[in-house]
Amino acid sequence: MIKVLFICHGNICRSPMAACLLRALAEREGLSDRLEADSAAVTCEELGNPVYPPARRTLEGHGVPCDGHRARQLTASDYVAFDYLIGMDASNLRRMRSICGGDPDRRLSLLMDWTGRGGDVADPWYSGDFETAFRDIEAGCRAVLERLRPLLEQEDPLTAGGIRRAMGEAAAGLRIEALEKATSTNLLLRDRAEAGAPDGTVLTAETQTQGRGRRARRFFSPPGCGLYLSVLLRPSLPPEDAPLLTAAAAAAAAEAVEAVSGRAAQIKWVNDVLLDGRKVCGILTEGRVSAETGRFAYVVVGAGFNVCPPPGGFPPELAELAGTVLPEAADGARSRLAAEFLRRLRGYAARLEERTFLEPYRARSVVPGRRVTVYRTDGTQRAARALALDERCRLVVAYDDGSRETLDSGEVSLRMEGASYV
């Protein structure tokens, strides 16, 4: 369900006209069960009053019903309750920002901006020109419906508001933005980190054109069936502790997958989450170390989840390797998965030195006790048996000649015996 809130000065003319019209348009196209439209005021001048009679007559003249409305005022909680908050003029937008405490998720906008023309919808309460107001509002509502159509036609739309609602109070301090398309959420968020974006900034994308995993491997990112998100953290962390954050993210992802799927997840060292032996999530952690402090200036944690099967299936090279969290799309599943992951990741990251993630990680690790092949960055490879994970989440292996080595995830990759991917 996508939720849209229209806002004007008193909530008796423009905003209820927009809400009624958008509902009518959605109903005509069979989308009314996936779209909720409401309205509110930035002032308390008309609280409890019905739609202004000339506005009602204009709507009815165009075949748009508007029964049962009573004016109400916008509240800060509306910012969480609705996915899009759309004002009628610049004055509305300023007051919307004030009431909502800013716009961290970039969800406040003006109706005419959706049309590409920009400008305000003139208030007919002052001008008396309700037909012109209706034409502008109709153009705006049609543009809103067209822009939202890809989300509305999905079984499981993903929005910043949906993630916030799924997280509840745990979303405090996050800035969540849901993009239609990105080259790579990690790349975009690294650029924003360099520009000063704060800790807790989150980007999601419906699809990625340059999605990637470790060692620059391509990450398949089709629209509508995956969850692709990146989180900006600004921990006081030395470079040698970066693998801990990757492992914490993998533990958070595995627990999130279990919460949504109801099945036991496994972790392949260091950053792959598996269900029934198939990869359903990968983690990519990147950052920049400050020359002044020798610690990370920021870290971007990216996670890509295969939530449900893509139309037409996975590409041939992934068909035997990739799995999905769910067998089919389910309304709200991606928002819940994002919420479960973000909640757990933030908890682990806040207490990274305590290694609270380590036991959940070890409990799900499938590598210790298995025969593996160690692939080094110089191209060499060597057979070994994986023994255990140490306190820094490094892998201890025993080679066939009896020697042992503790491996860092940044230096090697593994292939488990019987598995077909590295």
Measured CA to CA, the distance from residue 31 to residue 69 in angstroms comes to: 21
Element (H, E) at 182: none
Measured CA to CA, the distance from residue 12 to residue 69 in angstroms comes to: 9
* Pairing relationship of beta strands 296-306 and 404-407 according to DSSP bridges: unpaired
Residue 373 phi, psi (nearest 5) = -115, 125
Active-site entry in 83, 105, 123, 272: 123
Q: What count of other Cβ atoms lies within 10 Å of the Cβ of residue 290?
A: 10
Measured CA to CA, the distance from residue 21 to residue 18 in angstroms comes to: 5
Active-site entry in 8, 20, 225, 308: 8
Lookup: tokens for 86: 């759309």
Rg, the chain, Cα only: 25
Active-site entry in 14, 212, 214, 364: 14
Within 233-293, residue ranges assigned H as helices are 242-261
Measured CA to CA, the distance from residue 203 to residue 224 in angstroms comes to: 16
Measured CA to CA, the distance from residue 359 to residue 132 in angstroms comes to: 64
Confirm if 389 and 361 have CB atoms less than 8 A apart.
yes
Confirm if 96 and 73 have CB atoms less than 8 A apart.
no
DSSP sequence for 285-329: EEEEE-TTTSSEEEEEEEEEEE-SPPTT-S-TTTTTTB--SSSS-
**∠ CA 272-276-277, rounded to 5°:** 50
**Catalytic: 14?**
yes
Lookup: tokens for 133: 């107001």
Nearest-10 crossing angle of helices 53-61, 130-152? 60
Element (H, E) at 140: helix 130-152
Return the active site residues.
Answer: 8, 14, 123
